[in-house]
A and B are shown apart, each in its own frame.
Chain A
């Protein structure tokens, strides 16, 4: 029960958010496929982890005080060598100390870069006062940001209802293959949706979670970024 310990630790430390690597561990403990990632506390460890995970990798700052990592220069993508890891690591640390001085730094996440050719989707969950756990599905990027093209279901939900969430989007055709692309693997998205519902059902401390983006491929899907928010106990 790794995830229970993670949640308890965050609460004890007075945090309302799991750190990036904690969120990833939580998802992995529920069998949700996540782009492989580990936390490095110094530059040599980062290089070792990158070798172990395999290039190309992404580096991301992990701090309880920073929620928009890119805004403070805390993210570097497409790194494919040991030297690249070294310079990216140092760059991130110096960017953050310059643009977000005083932030506590838990380390730098070394994460396998997700393969290209996928379609970005977002899967989320929240705890509604009247309905309890609610699950959200949407297409990523402009679809969610501008068109707010998302669907919702109340937990518990049947597998068929999870498929309906995909079908009822205005942009549902994107998942069925367009511009000559084959359709995405819907069953892998449905499995993630059902697991997100399970996470909310089994962990009453979690207020909401975003899996954004989730890369959806013709076979399989991969969570690239995850954010887990706890209920403030104040």
Chain B
């Protein structure tokens, strides 16, 4: 695979929007607005019906363009797509995103024929194609944005290290909007639709060497023939550089597999997907919440060296809940050793509890957290900290986020924060996350997320990648 061709999809110096239109509510109009808003390269508009759209010159066909654009975005009725894609190829366009639907997904003879014609152009000219029937690419760094959902309906997330690949366009846009609302940063998002050419395998290979992508998230329904195996082989290499989180939809068993053998009867599609992911160190998010829960911790926290977790909290109940949740996920929540207890007693008031979970109690303030963290974070038998930081007690201020991030950065150990509540809690959450620490609204979600980090850490350790 030629990486420079995929680069043209994400970071082209010029783009042609084929099917551009001034008519409000049309896909071609949203595309023009998207590209004029953020994209800094050269944008050409193509539509034989117009000579000008929103003040920009519009060309009758791609053949009339003054230069071959590096990327063609095609949003025209399906029957015209094969012809236009061929014209693009002939003038030297190297990559195209076909937004249009009306292909194999319709199940009609015509749709299947049109898709075959598109594939033939790809095979004949070597043009690299995303789609058809997709949202295409949202690239937060280059400004390429073919997600044809208007900004007032689908907010764009801030720049960040998560890249997201989705078989479903609707889910891709929903997740992006959700991430924007939760202030989670995205690098690149791709919805590939019918994957006539580029699929998950090509995309994770590209993202492996992408410097701005730190965590890869995938929404997958199913692989095409033999592509599952190819995916696993590429993923083995990607995992060594950055974590992959997969949400597999279509988990419930369905028929279709001949059940002549026992093994086949027991297998079921989902079991095989799940096993394949685990085998190469891909983290599987089992629920929607886990997608971002896992991404946050893998994006921000260092790897775990062992499974011993210490809990520091201002709320005893949260400490007990956390202990249960962590033990259930296979972590050790060790008793505080006697010498550490002694050290802690020197800085803690008598009513505080130095056992693990270490309860700073309701009269705690930032300083009490700081003093305790400075002692325990550096102990060799502490592999991670989970901090219950309920903001309802009067002694806690925004300085706490600084204190925690400062000590954890020096200790080079992972931390997760539990924070539950309304407006004040949300302010604290924002501050913790601004300082690069993952915040969870329940002990169970924090424990599951830490488990994801642990599994990834141990996978790398097992194969001596780190």
- Chain A residues in contact with chain B, CB under 8 A? 16-17, 122, 124-126, 128-132, 134, 136, 138, 144, 148, 150-154, 157, 160-161, 207-210, 212, 227, 229
Q: Name the distance in Å between A108's Cβ and chain B's nearest Cβ.
A: 23
Whether a CB of chain A sits under 8 angstroms from the CB of B379 is: no
Closest 5 CB pairs of A and B: A124-B263, A130-B228, A152-B275, A131-B228, A130-B223
Are B279 and A157 within 8 A (Cβ)?
Answer: yes
> Given the complex of chains A and B, what is the CA–CA distance between A128 and B267 in angstroms?
10
Return 7 A-B CB contacts under 8 Å, by A number. A126-B261, A132-B226, A136-B267, A138-B266, A154-B275, A154-B279, A208-B264
Which B residues touch A134, using CB under 8 A? Answer: 267, 272, 275
The size of the chain B interface, using a CB distance under 8 A, is 24
Which A residues touch B271, using CB under 8 A? Answer: 150, 152
| Most chain B CB neighbours (cut-off 10 Å) among A151, A208, A229 | A208
Number of A-B contacts defined by CB within 8 Å: 86
Kindly list 17 other residue pairs between chains A and B, CB separation below 8 angstroms, not including A124-B261, A154-B275.
A122-B263, A124-B263, A125-B263, A126-B261, A130-B222, A130-B272, A131-B228, A131-B232, A131-B272, A132-B229, A134-B267, A150-B271, A152-B271, A153-B275, A154-B229, A154-B279, A210-B261
In the complex, per-residue mask of B197-220: 1 if CB is within 8 Å of any chain A CB, else 0: 000000000000000000000000
Which B residues touch A229, using CB under 8 A? Answer: 260-261
Which A residues touch B266, using CB under 8 A? Answer: 124, 136, 138, 144, 148, 150
> Given the complex of chains A and B, what is the CA–CA distance between A155 and B266 in angstroms?
17
> Given the complex of chains A and B, what is the CA–CA distance between A150 and B260 in angstroms?
18
A interface, over-half SS: strand
B interface, over-half SS: helix
> Given the complex of chains A and B, what is the CA–CA distance between A153 and B258 in angstroms?
20
Are B225 and A126 within 8 A (Cβ)?
Answer: no
Which B residues touch A227, using CB under 8 A? Answer: 261-262
Interchain CB contact (< 8 A) of B263 among A17, A126, A157: A126
Whether a CB of chain A sits under 8 angstroms from the CB of B227 is: yes
Which A residues touch B264, using CB under 8 A? Answer: 126, 207-208
Which B residues touch A161, using CB under 8 A? Answer: 279
Which A residues touch B275, using CB under 8 A? Answer: 134, 151-154
Whether a CB of chain A sits under 8 angstroms from the CB of B124 is: no
> Given the complex of chains A and B, what is the CA–CA distance between A16 and B223 in angstroms?
27
> Given the complex of chains A and B, what is the CA–CA distance between A136 and B232 in angstroms?
17
Interface residues of B in 215-246 (CB under 8 A from A): 222-229, 232
Q: Name the distance in Å between B271's Cβ and chain A's nearest Cβ.
A: 6
Which B residues touch A150, using CB under 8 A? Answer: 266, 271
Which B residues touch A144, using CB under 8 A? Answer: 262, 266
